[in-house]
Amino acid sequence: MQVKNNDGSPKIGKISLQISHLVCSQSANPDLLRATFYLFAFSHQYIIQDDARQHIVWLQRLIDPQLFPNDVIADYYQAIAPVGYTTFYAFFAKLGIEPLLLAKIVPLFISLITSIYGFKLFLQILPVPSAAFISTLILNQTIWLKDDVISASPRAFLYPLFAAFLYFLVKRSTIPCLIIILLQGLIFPQITFVYLGILSVRLFQWRDRSLKISQNRQDYVVWIWGLAIALAVILPFSHHLSQLGVAFTVEQMKTMPEFGTQGRTRYFGVSPFDFVMNGSSGIRPPLLPLVIWTSLGLSFLLKSQHSVSRLVTSKINILVHVLIASFSLFLLAHYLFPKLYYPNRYTYHSLRFVMAIAASIVLFAWLKSAQQWLAQRLSSNQGAFTLKETFSTSLAGLLIAASVLIPATPALVFLVESWNIGNNAAIYEFLAAQPKDILIASLDDEADNIPAFAQRSVLVSGEFAFAFHVNYYGEMRQRAEATLQAQYSPNLLDMQRFIQYYGVDFFLVHKDFLEPQYLLTKVWLVNSSFQRQVFETATQLQAGKIPALAGAVERCAIATTQTLHLLDAHCIESSQPIKPPPKEP
C-alpha cells in the first residue's frame, strides 16, 4: 500500500529521507566542488583554464582597446564569439571588471543557477525534495568534472539556460521558454537546434501504441514562435561567420592530419568505438562520476512495481524528447558534416542532464529499498548481521562514499578541468613591460600562455592554430612553416628576413630546441598539414646540422628561465653570422 500525506500526495519514509540527506549534505555538498574550483582559480598568479586562453583573453580589449593591435588571432576569436556572449563581458568591463577576472567568478553563479533550475526541473518529474537533491548533486559533479562551466566560454552558459528551458517547458510557461531560446541563440547558437528539436518532438505523442499528433494548441504556438526567434538570431550569426571565409570541406579534411587519428580534431580514420564515443564525431557521454551510469537502470525501474516508479510523473517524457532531438541532430550533423559543425555538440551537453536525472531516480529507489530492508531487519530482532550482510552493507557504503568524495578530490578536478599554470614569470613580466604592439614568435608550447599572462601578441601557437576556416588556418599554417624554417635554418639571413617580414620583436626558444626529439614532441606540428617539413627538420638535426640561431642565443638573450630563452629579434637582425658553439657529444 502506498502511504500518502493528508493532501493525498505520496509520503516518503522518514528513514529514507534521512539516509539521502546524510549522503548528500554531509559527504558531497556541491559547495565542495565550487570551493575546489575557487582554490585552483586563485591559487597562482599565473593560472588560466585551457579554453579560456582561446575565448577570454582577447576580450581584454574591452578594458584596454590598445591590446593585441592588428592581431589576426585576436580578431578571429573575437569574430567567432556570439554577440550575446561578448555583450555579457562588455557590460561588466564597463563596470571595471576585467574579463579574465570575471571568467574566474562567473562559473560559480552559472553552477548555482543550473542547480536551482535543475532542482526545480526534477521536482516536476519526481516530487521528492531529497531525490531532487541527489539529482542536483550528480548534475553538479558531472559539469564540474569537465572543463565546460569553468571555462566561462560560450558553452558554459548553456547549462543554466538548458536547465531553465527544460523547466519552463514542462511547466508549459511559454514566454519564459521563448526568452531562453532567444538568450541561447545569442550566447551559444548551436544548441538552439536542440531546443527546436525538442519542441518538434513534442508535436507528436505516443498513445494507444501509435504515433499521434498533439492536440495541445500551446505546443504549436511555442514551436512556431520558437522557430521564428531561433532563425532571427541564428541567421545573422551564420552570416557573420561566413564573412570569415569558407570552411574546409569533407574532402579537404580527409587529407589533413589535423582531422586524423592523432590530430587536434579527431574525426577520420579513428576506430569505430572512438568514432562513436570520443572526439568531435562521438556521442561523448559523461564518464564521470561513475554513479551516473546507474541511469541505464531507469527503464527497468519504471517497468517494475517499485514504489518510487509510481511517484514518477508523466513529465519524465521530457527525457525521451531530449534524447530523440539530440540523437537526431547528431546523425544529421554527421550527414551534413561540417555544415552543422561537429556532431558531438548535439549530444555531449544534453546527455549530462538526462543521465543525471535518470541516475538520481534509480539511486533514490535503491536508497528507499535499503531503508525498507534496514527497517525490517532492525524490527525483526534477528541479532547481529551475518557475514554476507556485513560485506554487502560495507561495500554499498564504500561505493556511495567513493561516488561522492572522489569527484571532489582536488587533484582529480585539476586534471579534468585542464588548468594551465605559468612557470616563467620572468618572461611574462618582461614582456608585459614592453609596448603593447610587440610581436613574439615561437614554436614552444609557452607561446600559448603569452597572450594570457603577458597580454602580448604571438605570431602563431598550437593553441590558436585551429583548423576550420580555410583563410584563418591558411595564415596560421604559413606562419608556422615560416617560423620553423627560420628557427632551424643554417643561414642566419633566413631568420633576419623572417623578422623583417613579420615585424617580430622577440623570439622565444626552448633550451632543448636543438634536440630532434624536442621538435617531435610538438603534437600540433607533428600532426599538421606541414608535418613533412617538421620531420625533415628533425632529420637534419639528427644529422648534426646546427641552425644559425644557435650562435645568437647567448648574445641576444634578454630574459632566461630554467627552460626558455627570450631573444631580442633586433639583436638577431643586426647580428653577423658566426660559427655556433660545437654540439656536446
SS (H, E, C) 12-78: CCHHHHHHHHHHHHHHCCHHHHHHHHHHHHCCCCCEEECCHHHHCHHHHHHCCCCCCCCCHHHHHHH
DSSP at 296: G
Residue 451 in grid coordinates: 597572450
Res. 39: pLDDT tops 80: no
pLDDT digits (tens, 9 = 90+) for 145-160: 888 898 999 999 999 9
| 270 confidence band (pLDDT: 50, 70, 90) | confident
* Per-residue model confidence (pLDDT) at position 5: 41
Measured over the CA atoms of residue 171, residue 173, residue 176 and residue 181, the dihedral's sign is positive
DSSP string of 520-576, one letter each residue: HT-HHHHTSTTHHHHHHHHHHHHTTPPPGGGGGHHHHEEEE-SSEEEEEHHHHHTPP
pLDDT over 50 at 14, yes or no: no
Whether 205 maps to a domain, the answer reads no
User: What is the average pLDDT across 41-68?
Assistant: 89
What Rg, from alpha-carbon coordinates, does the chain have? Answer: 28
- Give domain status of residue 219, yes or no: no
HSE of 143, CA atoms in CB hemisphere, 13 A: 36
Q: Please state, in angstroms and rounded to a whole number, the distance separating the CA atoms of residues 105 and 111.
A: 11
pLDDT digits (tens, 9 = 90+) for 398-449: 766 666 666 555 555 555 557 888 889 999 999 999 999 999 999 999 999 9
Same domain, 397 and 501: no
- Mean per-residue pLDDT, 460-478: 95
CA-to-CA distance for 70 and 345, rounded, in angstroms?
A: 32
CA atoms within 13 A on the CB side of 282: 15
**What CATH number is associated with residue 503?**
3.40.50
* Beta carbons within 8 Å of 65's beta carbon, 6+ residues apart: none
334 and 453 fall within a common domain: no
The pLDDT score that the predictor gives to residue 135 is: 92
Residues 305 and 433 in one domain: no
DSSP-based three-state secondary structure for 196: helix
pLDDT band, very low/low/confident/very high, at 18 (cuts 50, 70, 90):
very low
> How many Å apart are CA 446 and CA 458, to the nearest integer?
10
Same domain as 296, residue 147: yes
Whether residue 536 is contained in a domain is answered as yes
Say if 484 falls within a structural domain. yes
Instruction: Establish if 240 belongs to a structural domain.
Output: no
Average pLDDT value for the chain? 86
Is pLDDT larger for residue 208 or for residue 307? 307
Q: Please tell me whether residues 338 and 465 are part of one structural domain.
A: no
Provide the pLDDT confidence category of residue 60 given band limits of 50, 70 and 90.
very high
Q: What is the pLDDT of residue 118?
A: 96
Nearest to 363 by CA among 290, 284, 438, 467: 290
Give this prediction's pTM.
0.86
203 in a domain, yes or no? no
Asked if residue 47 belongs to a domain, the reply is yes
The count of structural domains within the chain is: 2
How far apart CA 428 and CA 451 sit, in angstroms, is 9
Q: Which triple of cell numbers denotes residue 120? A: 526545480
In this structure, is residue 33 part of a structural domain? yes
Do 568 and 447 share a structural domain? yes
CA atoms in the 13 A half-sphere facing the CB of 499? 21
Q: Is residue 440 located within the same domain as residue 569? A: yes
> Looking at the chain, how many residues does it have?
585
Residues 287-299: pLDDT tens digits? 888 889 989 999 9
Q: Give the N- to C-terminal CA distance of the chain in Å, as an integer.
A: 85
* Residue 582: predicted pLDDT: 52
> In which residue are the cell numbers 572512438 written?
274
* Model pLDDT, residue 276: 77
Q: How far is residue 512's CA from residue 487's CA, in Å, rounded to a whole number?
A: 13
Domain that holds residue 58: 14-154+283-373+388-415
Average pLDDT over residues 233-254: 91
**CB distance 147 to 50 below 8 Å:** yes
Q: Which amino acid is at 469?
A: H
Spatial distance between the Cα atoms of 214 and 321, rounded to a whole number of angstroms: 14
Do 532 and 553 share a domain, yes or no? yes
Given a cut of 70, whether residue 57 has pLDDT beyond it is yes
Q: Do 411 and 429 reside in the same domain of the chain? A: no
The answer to whether the beta carbons of residues 513 and 567 sit under 8 Å apart is no
In this structure, are 435 and 569 located in the same domain? yes
Residues 346 and 428 in one domain: no
pLDDT of residue 213: 86
Q: Which of 324, 353, 347 is nearest to 276 (CA)?
A: 347
Task: Tell me, rounded to whole angstroms, the distance of Cα 420 from its chain centroid.
Answer: 14
pLDDT (tens digit per residue) in 505-554? 999 999 999 998 999 999 999 999 999 999 999 999 999 899 999 989 98
Give me the pLDDT at residue 405, please: 62
- Torsion, Cα 561 564 569 570, to 10 degrees, reads 30
Who's near 533: CB < 8 A, 6+ residues apart?
481, 484, 485
- Domain match, 35 and 147 both: yes
